[in-house]
């Protein structure tokens, strides 16, 4: 349902009927399960899908796909079927599909879910290279500690703490109270 009061600003724009299209273009969502995001016969086609539907010409689509795949270290996967990749590779390709749209804000839902230790380390390294604003929903406290300088703890649909990540993660009473310890 729609809110009855207040306002929301995204990328400097107040969200309204007039701005919703521009707001959506600024925000890229990376799902927890990459299989919810990947559907094409090849990685290249998946990453090209968004730019093609933005109406970009073939050269611009090519440049965006190449840049997005390079950013996630997946250029060598371009011709492979996404469903034949490891979970870590599929997660990187799903991120590339979003990066190809050039959003200024990236939203991740539990990005480390299902990753083995090496994949988790690679994810942390990758997150640390991104220049976009990152909003990450996670219960992985070590990921938060390693990748984010600021964290927000939610409880009952409300912000209960907003502070430097290290400070929050050292507040054991807070973590326990909100099911994070």
Tens of pLDDT, residue by residue over 166-175, are 999 999 999 9
Give the per-residue pLDDT at 104: 96
Name the least confident of 6-10, 58-62, 63-67.
6-10
Give the pLDDT mean for 36-61. 97
Q: How far is CA 153 from CA 57, 80, 139, in A?
A: 43, 39, 10
Whether the predicted model's global pTM rises above the 0.95 cut: no
Give the pLDDT mean for 31-57. 96
Rounded Cα distance, 86 and 173, in Å: 38
The residues facing 163 across adjacent strands are 151
Nearest to 58 by CA among 70, 73, 48, 67: 48
2 has a pLDDT exceeding 80: no
Q: For 41, which DSSP code?
A: S
Phi-psi region of 113 (alpha: psi -120 to 50; beta: other; left: phi over 0): beta
Name the one residue in this structure whose structure tokens are 């870590």: 88
Asked whether the beta carbons of 97 and 47 are under 8 A apart, the reply is yes
Q: For 105, which DSSP code?
A: E
Q: How far is CA 29 from CA 34, 58, 144, 172, in A?
A: 11, 24, 18, 31
Nearest to 87 by CA among 109, 118, 52, 130: 118
């Amino acid at each position: 349902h729609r809110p009855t009061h207040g306002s929301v600003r995204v990328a400097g724009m107040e969200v309204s009927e007039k701005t919703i299209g521009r707001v959506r273009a600024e925000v890229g969502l990376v799902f927890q399960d990459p299989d919810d995001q990947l559907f094409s016969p090849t990685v290249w086609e998946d990453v090209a899908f968004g730019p093609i539907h933005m109406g970009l010409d073939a050269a611009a689509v090519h440049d965006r796909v190449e840049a997005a795949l390079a950013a996630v270290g997946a250029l060598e996967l371009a011709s492979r079927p996404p469903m034949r990749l490891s979970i870590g590779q599929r997660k990187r390709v799903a991120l590339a599909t979003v990066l190809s749209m050039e959003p200024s804000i990236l939203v991740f839902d539990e990005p480390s879910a299902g990753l083995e230790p090496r994949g988790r380390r690679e994810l942390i390294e990758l997150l640390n290279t991104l220049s976009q604003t990152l909003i990450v929903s996670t219960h992985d406290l070590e990921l938060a500690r390693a990748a984010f300088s600021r964290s927000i703890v939610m409880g009952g649909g409300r912000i209960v703490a907003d502070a430097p990540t290290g400070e929050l993660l050292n507040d054991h009473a807070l973590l326990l109270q909100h099911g994070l310890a």
